[in-house]
Each structure stands twice: as C-alpha cells, then as structure tokens.
Structure 1
Amino acid sequence: MTLSLDRNIVYPDSDGKPMADNTRQFRWIVLFKENLECLFADNPNVFVAGDLLWYPVEGSPDIRVAPDVFVVFDRPKGDRGSYQQWKENNITPQVVFEILSPGNTYKEMVKKQQFYDKYGVEEYYIYDPDRNVLTGLERENGILTFIEDITDWISPRLGIRFVLTDDTLKVYYPDGQPFLTTIELTQKAQQEKLRADQAQLQVNRTQLENDRLRQLLLQAGINIPDDYN
C-alpha cells in the first residue's frame, strides 16, 4: 500500500537566519554566486542559487539546509522559493559553497558536511576569508573526501580554478579570466564599451577622410570605383 504525503505540509522559504554575519562574508557569497551565474549564463539548464533552502526529502520539512551558494546541473533557471528536490527530478545540487564567518561553530559545519555527504553533493568548498583558509571535498567512492592539495585546484564540475595566495583566494573562469566583484564587472563593461566606442569613432573618421579624398579626386576629374580600397 502506498501512502500519500500530506499535501498541507509547509516547506518554509526562510529559516529565519541572516544570509551573512558581516560584510566580508556577504561580499564573498555574492562574488561566487554572481560569477557562477555569469559562467553559466548561456546554459538554460544550470541553476545557481544563493542562500536558498534545500529540502531533499518530500514530507520532511525539518530536513533542510541553506547553502551560501549551490549549483545544480540539468535543472532550468528560474525563480524558486526553495529547492524542493522531489520537484526537480530528484537532482541533488552537485556543487556547494560555504563562506565562514566568526559566528559559524565547528559543530554546525560538521553537521553541514554530514548533510551534504548523505544527500549526494559531489563537490563541497568551504572558505574562511578571515583566516584565508580554503577547504575542499569531492565525492570519491560514494563519500565526500578531503582534497589534499587545493592550492591550485580545478573544479571537475565547474571548470573554475582556485588559487590560494598568502593574502586571499583568487578564483578563475575556465578561460583564465578572474572572478570579479559587481563593481569590477561594471567597470570592465564600461571600459570595453569605451574601447568599442573609440574604435567605431576611428572607423568613422577614416570613412570621412576617405569620402573627402574621393570628392577631391572627383573634382580633379579622377573617378574612383566604389569598391576600390
């Protein structure tokens, strides 16, 4: 006999906890979330979320976690109040990021690791910006296992590269471009637009000069074919 689940079960969209404890933690969460969005902007079947509750088990609203950032392949983009896995072809988020703050406890992080291990996360990255410590785990033989050397690590799923320097963590796109903050991305876009405008201005100036020379030649009785370069 198959029991039907109570359709009145509520899966809250919020756990009542703040997204971040401080500006540094928030800045890193946004850095990962926004750049991963950019990385997969052209792929309609990669869903990237930040601070979204993930419910892996239907009928169990108490089994949940809100990763700082997670990535799900083979799921469409779009708004969600929470990630209810049974409504998502039962696909587990493959990659999870947590950014530590002074308020995170060892017990809390162990419980999260156990949760991600139990429910099938493939890659789990933890960055402590205050101590500049990066920890990574990947699934091997069905178990999340610590990555021994992560100083120049490339994510198997994402293709991004982590470089841990003496001062900070640097993350690079598969093409070698660095992850940038929203301000840096805006500045880069403005610079690229300025370069494009300058290039177009030069093209326009060249065309005007060519037209002027053509007129002078015509006045001198010299006809230049239109397709002459």
Structure 2
Amino acid sequence: MIRVLIVDDEALVRAGLRLILDPAPDIEVVAEASNGSEASQACRRHRVDVVLMDVRMPVMDGLTAAGEIGRLPGAPKVIMLTTFDLDEYVHAALRAGAVGFLLKDTPPQELAGAVRTVAAGSAMLAPAVTKRLIEEFARTPQKSAPARAQLAALTDRETTVIRAVARGLSNHEIGRTLSMSEATVKTHVSRSLSKLGLTNRVQAAILVHDAGLLD
C-alpha cells in the first residue's frame, strides 16, 4: 500500500485530490496538511511514501518544505503540484529534492499513476515540463567548476554510472550497458548519491548537467 500525504492550502483542492486517490486499491491517503510546516510535521508523525504538495502556500511554501522533508530519515518522495507552469518553480523544486512536478490540470487518471511511478523510485514530470527542461539543457550547455569539484569525490566507475543515471537510464539498462549486475549498479548509485550529498537521481542528473558531463 502506498501511503500518501496531501498538502495544499485550499481545502477544496485537498478534498478533490483525496476523491481521486481514495478509490485506488493500492493507495491510501494517510494525512492532509495546509502548509509546508504542517507537511513536515505530518511526515514525522506518519509513515508516508509520497507527498503531493502545492508550491505556493502560507507559513512555509512547498519548495522550502520539500527541502526540509528530503532531509528526514527515510524521506518520502515529493511530487510538486501547481497551476503555475514556470521554469523557476521546476528548477527550484527539483533542486530541493522533489522527484515529480505536475500541473493541477493533470487528468485524474494520470495522478494515481504518477504516485505509483515515484513510489517505485522513478521521476515523474508533466510532459510540458519535461519538454521545456530538455530544450533548455540542449540550449544552454554549461560547465560549472563547483559541480565538477563535487563530482570529483566519485571514483571513475561511480562517475560513469552517475552519468548514465543522468541520461535517464534505469539500473537494469545501466547494468546491461556497462556489463554489471543490477545489484552492483544499485550499490554504485546509492554510494554516489551519499558521497555527493544528494537524495535522488533527479538531483544527480542536474549536477551532471551543470558540470557539463552530458556532452
């Protein structure tokens, strides 16, 4: 069972999201929160697998909360929900540790699928968001010295694996490409994220891009 926390400052929005998710046999809405501070507290009180969270909220916004939640032991996966399809929010949310970014006009049938996707360990971005991110990465190649210095903590093998992660390959695909077992790939990914001080594969992809290693 995937345990979900819904976070939005509008009660009607929370009720609507609950109505969409409650019928799913493998999803349980365990709590609701009206701002980022309440969300962080709820994650401490409940065992939560996935957080569906608005960006703009009083007291503590969703981006700040995503960063705070990401530092919790056994942190849940965070999907940001917003009506604002703005690059600044996408970048900030991903850098804060969110692994999903959906617009509030996402069809109801796709919402439960997104929850399942991130719970399984994959990223989930709205198609329009993904398209623009790819276009921007292609348009603005950059090589950041701090990013390269951060990646220098990795061994050559770990660097090769993390570059494959940044290209969007799954552990199975990386193993097949590099002639490694999937378990070995998983170990390399986990160790690399720990060395880099990152919480998920999306953050790793951003770092590799910033270092100019996707060329």
Q: Tell me the TM-score normalised to structure 2 length.
A: 0.33
Larger relative contact order, structure 1 or 2 (CA cutoff 8 Å, min sep 6): 2
**TM-score by structure 1 length?**
0.31
The answer to which structure has the higher helix fraction is 2
